[in-house]
Amino acid sequence: MPLTDFPTVLEIKDPIHGYVSLTALEKEIIDLRLSQRLRYIQSPAGLSLVYPGAATSLMGRTLGFMHMTEVFLEYLGGDVDEILRGRLASLLLMLTNGPWGNVSEEYLSVRGNTRQRIVKLILEQSVVKGIVEKHGFTANEVVDLILKGVPIKGLNLDLIHCPINPELIDDLERDSYFAGVEYAQLEFRRLFSATRITKNKIAVERSSLFTLESYLSAAANMFEAVYFHKTVRAAELMLLRVLDEAGSQLFPLPTEDPNSFLNCDDLTFLHRLLNVDNDDPDEMQTANSIFNDFRRRNLIKLVSSRAISDPVFLGNLETADGLYSIEKEIADDAGIDPTNVYIDFPDRVSVTFYPGRFGFEDLVLFERGSSGYEFWLATDLSPMARSFSRLLKPIRVYTTRGYRSKLKKSADRVLESVDTTGAK
């Protein structure tokens, strides 16, 4: 499907993809205040503290996600209507971001505010509903694009969890470019051209296994060098602690007041946190202290790290109460306050990408043989795909300045007691 089939009303120059076109519906949504605030939200929130050139806003990511969705659906054989629906779904998904992007996503998701739920609220309680209806969609129809997936060739394509993921591919290329690293060299058009929909699944030609692995390799490299970089994560853990301390006083949850939430950006938080006075609650005083350290780059420090496979321990990390109990155990052993202990692990929602975020174990390879098509799981033929379902996960313990030597022995002792077989 050539781009000229689109009812384009505007083109915007993007440093990664060239000119990105917008339809009248998309332009009308992007012109709204709730969309323009994305210009003032950085994500990943801690990236620019390590890579100064990577101060990228969510507005660029929004255009990139829309464009990559269009290209992907075009290669899958989608028609104009299907592709327009896909682009609309990707645009609405980006509107769900709060200040500090990936950090607020974790804060919100822990409290039941998933991206899907926020899109539903946007379409029910904001001006976006009237705009999409004016352009021929119903609110329920658009909600279904998010909850059930974008219909194409008999498959409902889930843009959030699809293993060949247009949002991730844009993130990899964009963050690699602006961070000035070269870990995300991938031929996404070659990958898209080798991708098919078969048996209600995304499948990739077996002959293009190298192209698929270059995509997986780029994702793994960016995870190790950028998204899970110890200093990037130190900054993001501090911002997450600010929200845990005083999030309810910084902005309302979307379920409480969606329109006020959609007016917030990084500048909202900056203004509020820089204007804390003695009359503010203790939670705001603590949040202000943490944020001031973040601004001065007085970041928390890594004191212990260990690869762990114990499923009970890893399961505890995935709940707020379980995570706090482990932080408290380490703090009590060291004789310090638990607020000075931070635990990080790769599966956190605030980690932009981690191996296992998408279901690569369900990704299928296909080849046409003498008796018809043959299929294999990607994990059966690709060591790289298998590595994404690894059991060992790096667990890190950070602490505030002044407690490094005191906490290290306690952190090492607790982590080493969990999974002694994992070290062998």
Those residues with Cβ within 8 angstroms of residue 30's Cβ, 6 or more apart along the chain or in another chain: 22, 36, 62, 91
Distance (Å, whole) CA 169 – CA 224: 16
Q: Which residue has the higher pLDDT, 392 or 273?
A: 273
pLDDT above 70: percentage of residues in the chain: 97
Evaluate the omega torsion of the peptide bond into residue 44 and state whether it is cis, within 30 degrees of 0. yes
Those residues with Cβ within 8 angstroms of residue 339's Cβ, 6 or more apart along the chain or in another chain: 241, 286
How high is the pLDDT of residue 2?
42
Distance (Å, whole) CA 235 – CA 180: 19
The single-letter DSSP state of residue 411 is H
In contact, 212 and 218? CB cutoff 8 Å: no
Distances (CA, A) of 139 to 1, 142, 143, 283, 335: 27, 5, 6, 39, 54
How high is the pLDDT of residue 357?
86
- Three-state SS across 373-406? EEEEEHHHHCHHHHHCCCCCEEEEEEECCCCHHH
How high is the pLDDT of residue 5?
62
pLDDT digits (tens, 9 = 90+) for 296-341: 999 999 999 999 989 899 999 989 999 999 999 999 999 999 999 9
pLDDT digits (tens, 9 = 90+) for 339-364: 999 999 999 999 999 988 887 777 88
Give the H/E segment covering residue 288: helix 282-295
How high is the pLDDT of residue 55?
87
Of the candidates 63, 8, 7, the residue with the CA atom closest to the CA atom of residue 38: 63
In contact, 232 and 47? CB cutoff 8 Å: yes
pLDDT digits (tens, 9 = 90+) for 160-201: 999 999 999 999 999 999 999 988 888 999 999 999 998 788
In contact, 138 and 388? CB cutoff 8 Å: no
Q: What integer best gives the mean pLDDT of the chain?
A: 92
Distance (Å, whole) CA 396 – CA 302: 7
Give the H/E segment covering residue 139: helix 139-147
Compute the CA torsion angle 191, 197, 200, 201 (nearest 10 deg): -10
Burial of 423 (0-12, 13-18, 19+ CB in 10 A): exposed
Q: How many residues does the chain have?
A: 424
Task: Enumerate domains of the chain plus CATH numbers.
Answer: 1-180+229-296 (1.10.3210.10)
Distance (Å, whole) CA 396 – CA 300: 12
Of the candidates 48, 159, 7, 10, the residue with the CA atom closest to the CA atom of residue 94: 159
How high is the pLDDT of residue 423?
44
φ/ψ of residue 194, rounded to 5: -90, 5
Query: pTM of this prediction?
Result: 0.93
At 313, list the tokens.
């321990």
How high is the pLDDT of residue 360?
76
Tell me the sheet residues that pair with 372: 369
How high is the pLDDT of residue 254?
96
In order, the DSSP letters of 96-109 are T--TTTHHHHHHHH
Planar angle of CA 297, 268, 91, nearest 5 degrees? 100
pLDDT digits (tens, 9 = 90+) for 44-85: 999 999 999 998 999 999 999 999 999 999 999 999 999 999
Lowest mean pLDDT among 107-116, 172-181, 365-374, 383-392: 383-392
pLDDT above 50: residue 422: no
pLDDT digits (tens, 9 = 90+) for 241-282: 999 999 999 999 999 999 999 999 999 999 999 999 999 999
Q: Report CA 80 to chain centroid distance, whole Å.
A: 28
Distance (Å, whole) CA 275 – CA 52: 26
Rounded mean pLDDT of 371-387?
A: 85
